[in-house]
Amino acid sequence: MTTLLLARHGLTDLTGPVLAGRTPGVHLSEAGRAQAAALAGRLAGVRLDAIVSSPLERCQETAQAVAEGRGAEVQTDERFVECGYGEWTGRPLRELAEEPLWRVVQAHPSAAVFPGGESLADVQHRAVAAVRDWNRRVGEKGVYLACSHGDVIKAIVADALGLHLDHFQRITADPAALTVIRYAPLRPFILKINDMGELRLPEDSEEKDGGENITGSDAAVGGGPGTT
């Protein structure tokens, strides 16, 4: 089973009041750099077969903090880039909340197309395609980190949960938080969502305690044996 660690970038000076989008030159703030260093510490004991990042600076800097000390290279994948918000880019969120499209984004995001930009449905399509591609690259025992953006991460998680994109606003992706998805042959499993603690990955359920999978399923009966 392939394990994907999704990390949102750390804080920037624009995180919260302004929709930064793909604005160039948006770097981690001092608090964001501390978050990135803490993320690296939380992942210190986890083997990573690849570290992948959105091309935007705030993600590159977050991913590089994890890569330092591992002798690893951060690989850039454009498909993990922030949503193309078009004419909304750089505008205050308080101002955007007055736009008619805002209600569509909140209640019916599968129909949302940003003026001069991208649709949220297209964001999900490209991001999930990237995940499937990297799952193949690292292999069925692979573990990799992808550093991306809030809406992109939420779209990937919605797909893994089998949720319609219209429900993706129910998912949270905070700065420097981790979401962990294990992709089995039949279905994905969500191990963690929006987690800020130290990460310890559970063993594959088929091999735990010498057990044998006799059902042909990748899901344990009764919810699974846990991590202890």
Selection from 96, 82, 88 nearest residue 26 by Cα: 82
The answer to whether residues 8 and 14 touch, using CB atoms and an 8 Å cutoff, is no
Average of pLDDT values for 30-57?
Answer: 97
Percent of the chain with pLDDT over 70: 89
Q: How far apart are CA 2 and CA 135, in angstroms?
A: 6
pLDDT at 29 over 80: yes
DSSP 8-state symbol, 55: S
Q: What is the mean pLDDT of the chain?
A: 90
> What contacts 9, CB < 8 A, 6 or more positions away?
28, 32, 36, 54, 56, 58, 59, 61, 62, 147, 148, 149, 175, 176
Exactly one of 27, 78, 82, 198 is catalytic; which is it?
82
108 included as an active-site residue = no
Over residues 130-155, mean pLDDT: 97
Is residue 169 over pLDDT 90?
yes
pLDDT of 216 above 90: no
149 is catalytic: no
Which of the residues 9, 61, 118, 149 is marked catalytic? Answer: 9
Burial of 69: CB neighbours in 10 Å, binned 0-12, 13-18, 19+: exposed
The pTM of the whole model exceeds 0.85: yes
| Amino acid at the residue 113 | V
Size (the chain), residues: 228
- Report the pLDDT averaged over residues 59-72: 94
Say yes or no to pLDDT of 219 above 50. no
Q: What contacts 185, CB < 8 A, 6 or more positions away? A: 1, 218
Region 33-38: what's the mean pLDDT?
A: 98
183 to 122, 188, 192: CA distances (angstroms)? 22, 4, 13
Contact indicator for 173, 153 with CB cutoff of 8 Å: yes
